[in-house]
A and B are shown apart, each in its own frame.
Chain A
């Protein structure tokens, strides 16, 4: 049995938990101040994101305003704006019963035809129409796990009002959006009860360093935190909250190093990686060692099965390699200090095995690297969809990867993952969670960070009364 320990993550989380505020009577009022690194010019779920960071930031903010028919929670798929769903025997047509009495941000009540229009806007190829208190969706090509597919933020129900106003049903309504600031106001008639705070102010395009300083200085209440900064916040008595691991950090070899002839060489380099040390030392306990693309909680099988443990070259064989094969250049995103820190540690480990590793963080043109250290989101959904998402993002980075078909059986997902990692072109290193720093005036009986990503800001209140 391969030990897959996340002890360091557990320990760090417990340490962070020490600082959790004791329960207090919730208070209404005040404006919660949140900061994000990405620029958010719109919250429209249908709008294409400019990059992964913007996509991730919107996935956090959008659910505060818009809600999909279904929701994926830690215990599986749950109803949200739909109360139930059925599929016709032939598999291409679904019927979702729309929850009654949901008051939209404009004061009207959500109608099935509005749901159908929203679905059509985001999926033009589908046929969606109201049928009584339900909406029928014909996807054409059968999607056997449609309720899972439409649980993401992109499929949230948006009612497009006059002048292009975006009307949702979530706990907050949009008051103002510009590229540097988003103002949300509490939705008094929210069907799951009004949020405690009156509003949320989201400052976007804030660099991580600035977010830290703002949190420490009391100018922000919830900020994004890099793993390399977690200890600093905890030492100052501030809370650091974590989701489940939702991102894969992996080493991806470039095509000239991805040949079959170089397989033993790649295995040898991969075998030098000390994942536990990266997790506990570099990432300050805020990560879990990764020997698979999917985190074990997403696959369900990763702890029992080794995806790749083929033998590596011996150290003497490494020493006998030509110089150009003993020298490895790893490229990292110059703006990403976390992957830079991991790469530096990889260099130390590889050096002990006889390799010379150069870490390259170019801001302009640079020599061709041998590998890149990349971060890839592992979305909280079914194992096959999560792996398909990872494969798609890796493909976009140049590593062609086969994805399991939607709704695939788990053994098919396993085989696809095995195919992804067995050539050692993609080397999983760590799985990292979303981390948030939470300020002293934030009270909550539950964590601000949702286990599957994002924030639970409707459940937050501000201590000290109305500011």
Chain B
């Protein structure tokens, strides 16, 4: 006897109060035909799918492969596998045009492609039985997670973790903060000695590398060590550690510029050499090696990138949004799909106005600085994404 299927037993009890409160979202989700799904659940089909495409295209041919924007990772994998089979990825000319998409029906996971070259048209379909575990992994539940780092009355520009201590950058100093059983407290402070007059919208950034650190301010760069705690500053502009090429903030200004003259305020890494930058007037702009393009979305002052979070194939971005109450901002989560920002349900209301949102250069985390006008203090938060499936 051959066991073809051995189904798991049972239905779970109806625990109403554990279900998502947003019935509206559930309805919308259930009601509409499933859109193109993320690539991750289909990556295991890629070798067979690429093999079928390669057989249809023919040896040593050229092909232009196009998947939906949601499935860029899968597209990259299929292109890579085709290249390994000697098929060049070329657009135009006599290249075969391969329109592909992976999806599911009730029984199977399906990758289908239509291959056209001139009047010749071929179809390839690769399937694999659905697996509940993989189904469950299709759409991670992503939420913004905020972890308080430190709060103080004086203005803060950035906060960075340095071992078990915190470095706190203020316009006039860098402080070393201990966080132990006695609570978070400043244990040492070193002044930023400069002849510069700070711009009205002064900005600053810390970079920690082992026991040493750097502080970047408009027209000023400081270098120091945590132990012993020391700091030396020079009136010189250095590129800030944003990932996106820049020459730092010029004295008496608050914006960066790329080598080709693009002015931006913040930049979020999206992975694959792509960035989402906040340009003039808050316009969100996609930047990569090929150039820049507008990202159709509301304007924002702050963005942070999370390119590899939650094992998805599209990067996530956190941007600021106006909260419902005065003197308060919120963080809003988006997924970057092609050139679009798709809003996700997760948002977090901040206790004040967001004054800085610094992405970790490699992405995956960020530091938010919030000014709580009502309480008269600045607070720093570590921003990350939590993923559940």
Q: Give me the interface of A with B, judged by CB distance under 8 Å.
A: 1-2, 6, 9-10, 13-14, 16-18, 20-23, 25-26, 70, 72, 74-79, 82-89, 99, 145, 147-148, 192-193, 241-245, 288, 295-301, 303-306, 380-383, 409-411, 414, 431, 433, 444-447, 449, 451, 459
When distances are taken between beta carbons in the complex, the residues of chain A under 8 Å from B109 are 300
When distances are taken between beta carbons in the complex, the residues of chain A under 8 Å from B24 are 14, 17-18, 20
The answer to the question of B182 belonging to the interface, with a C-beta cut-off of 8 Å to chain A, is: no
Contact B31 A297 (CB under 8 A): no
When distances are taken between beta carbons in the complex, the residues of chain A under 8 Å from B10 are 79, 83
Contact A300 B135 (CB under 8 A): no
Query: Smallest CB–CB gap between B151 and chain A, Å?
Result: 35
When distances are taken between beta carbons in the complex, the residues of chain A under 8 Å from B26 are 446-447
Complex Cα gap A380–B3 (Å)? 25
Contact B23 A303 (CB under 8 A): no
Contact A447 B7 (CB under 8 A): no
State the majority secondary structure of interface residues on A.
mixed
**5 interchain residue pairs of minimum CB distance:** A300-B110, A301-B112, A13-B31, A300-B105, A17-B24
The answer to the question of B254 belonging to the interface, with a C-beta cut-off of 8 Å to chain A, is: no
Complex Cα gap A245–B104 (Å)? 15
Q: Which of A9, A288, A411, A449 has the most B CB atoms < 10 Å from its CB?
A: A411
* Given A16-B27, A20-B23, 17 other A-B residues pairs in contact with their CB atoms under 8 A: A13-B28, A23-B16, A23-B17, A23-B19, A99-B9, A145-B107, A193-B13, A244-B31, A244-B32, A297-B34, A306-B114, A381-B106, A383-B105, A410-B108, A410-B110, A446-B19, A459-B14
Contact A446 B104 (CB under 8 A): no
Query: Smallest CB–CB gap between B63 and chain A, Å?
Result: 14
Q: Check A304/B114 contact, CB under 8 A, given A87-B2, A241-B27.
A: yes
When distances are taken between beta carbons in the complex, the residues of chain A under 8 Å from B100 are 304
The answer to the question of B1 belonging to the interface, with a C-beta cut-off of 8 Å to chain A, is: yes
Contact A451 B30 (CB under 8 A): yes
Contact A84 B7 (CB under 8 A): yes
Chain A residue at minimum C-beta to C-beta distance from B8: A79
Contact A79 B33 (CB under 8 A): no
Contact A76 B36 (CB under 8 A): no
When distances are taken between beta carbons in the complex, the residues of chain B under 8 Å from A88 are 1-2
When distances are taken between beta carbons in the complex, the residues of chain A under 8 Å from B14 are 192-193, 459
Q: Which of B78-86, B125-133, B199-207, B331-339 contacts A (4 or more CB under 8 A)?
A: B125-133
Contact B27 A301 (CB under 8 A): no
B:83-140 near A, CB below 8 Å? 99-101, 103-110, 112-114, 123, 125, 127, 130, 132, 135
Query: Smallest CB–CB gap between A466 and chain B, Å?
Result: 19
When distances are taken between beta carbons in the complex, the residues of chain A under 8 Å from B132 are 75-76
When distances are taken between beta carbons in the complex, the residues of chain A under 8 Å from B5 are 77, 84-87, 147
Query: Smallest CB–CB gap between B99 and chain A, Å?
Result: 4
Complex Cα gap A148–B107 (Å)? 9
Complex Cα gap A173–B286 (Å)? 60
When distances are taken between beta carbons in the complex, the residues of chain B under 8 Å from A22 are 21, 23
Contact A1 B125 (CB under 8 A): no
Q: Give me the interface of B with A, judged by CB distance under 8 Å.
A: 1-11, 13-14, 16-17, 19, 21, 23-28, 30-36, 66, 68, 99-101, 103-110, 112-114, 123, 125, 127, 130, 132, 135
Complex Cα gap A414–B114 (Å)? 12
Q: Which of A83, A145, A301, A409 contacts B103 (CB under 8 A)?
A: A301
Q: Can you give 17 A-B contacts (C-beta < 8 A)?
A: A13-B28, A22-B21, A76-B132, A84-B7, A85-B4, A85-B7, A87-B4, A193-B14, A243-B31, A244-B31, A300-B103, A303-B103, A305-B99, A433-B31, A444-B23, A446-B23, A451-B31
When distances are taken between beta carbons in the complex, the residues of chain B under 8 Å from A6 are 32-33, 35
Complex Cα gap A86–B105 (Å)? 23
Contact B1 A83 (CB under 8 A): no
When distances are taken between beta carbons in the complex, the residues of chain B under 8 Å from A242 are 31
Q: Which of B25, B101, B105 has the most A CB atoms < 10 Å from its CB?
A: B105
Contact B6 A84 (CB under 8 A): yes
Contact B105 A297 (CB under 8 A): yes
Complex Cα gap A25–B35 (Å)? 33
When distances are taken between beta carbons in the complex, the residues of chain A under 8 Å from B123 are 305, 411, 414
Contact B7 A305 (CB under 8 A): no
Query: Smallest CB–CB gap between A126 and chain B, Å?
Result: 18
When distances are taken between beta carbons in the complex, the residues of chain B under 8 Å from A409 are 127
Contact B28 A296 (CB under 8 A): no
Q: Check A89/B1 contact, CB under 8 A, given A17-B23, A414-B123.
A: yes
When distances are taken between beta carbons in the complex, the residues of chain B under 8 Å from A381 are 106
Complex Cα gap A6–B29 (Å)? 12
Complex Cα gap A433–B108 (Å)? 22
Complex Cα gap A74–B135 (Å)? 10
When distances are taken between beta carbons in the complex, the residues of chain A under 8 Å from B106 are 72, 74, 76-77, 298, 380-383
Q: Which of A20, A76, A299 has the most B CB atoms < 10 Å from its CB?
A: A76
Q: Check A244/B33 contact, CB under 8 A, given A76-B130, A446-B19.
A: yes
Complex Cα gap A98–B7 (Å)? 12
When distances are taken between beta carbons in the complex, the residues of chain B under 8 Å from A70 are 7
Contact B4 A410 (CB under 8 A): no
Complex Cα gap A17–B20 (Å)? 14
Chain A residue at minimum C-beta to C-beta distance from B68: A1
Query: Smallest CB–CB gap between A396 and chain B, Å?
Result: 24
Chain B residue at minimum C-beta to C-beta distance from A76: B130
When distances are taken between beta carbons in the complex, the residues of chain B under 8 Å from A99 are 9
Complex Cα gap A147–B101 (Å)? 28
Complex Cα gap A2–B68 (Å)? 10
Query: Smallest CB–CB gap between A238 and chain B, Å?
Result: 14
When distances are taken between beta carbons in the complex, the residues of chain A under 8 Å from B66 are 1
Complex Cα gap A206–B35 (Å)? 35
Q: Which of A84, A145, A411, A447 contacts B9 (CB under 8 A)?
A: A84
Complex Cα gap A447–B123 (Å)? 38
Complex Cα gap A334–B75 (Å)? 49
Complex Cα gap A298–B34 (Å)? 10
Contact A20 B27 (CB under 8 A): yes
Contact A382 B31 (CB under 8 A): no
Query: Smallest CB–CB gap between B194 and chain A, Å?
Result: 54
Query: Smallest CB–CB gap between B30 and chain A, Å?
Result: 5
Contact A305 B33 (CB under 8 A): no
When distances are taken between beta carbons in the complex, the residues of chain A under 8 Å from B135 are 75-76
Query: Smallest CB–CB gap between B94 and chain A, Å?
Result: 20
Query: Smallest CB–CB gap between A367 and chain B, Å?
Result: 38
Complex Cα gap A76–B105 (Å)? 8
Chain B residue at minimum C-beta to C-beta distance from A83: B9
Query: Smallest CB–CB gap between A455 and chain B, Å?
Result: 13
When distances are taken between beta carbons in the complex, the residues of chain A under 8 Å from B1 are 86-89
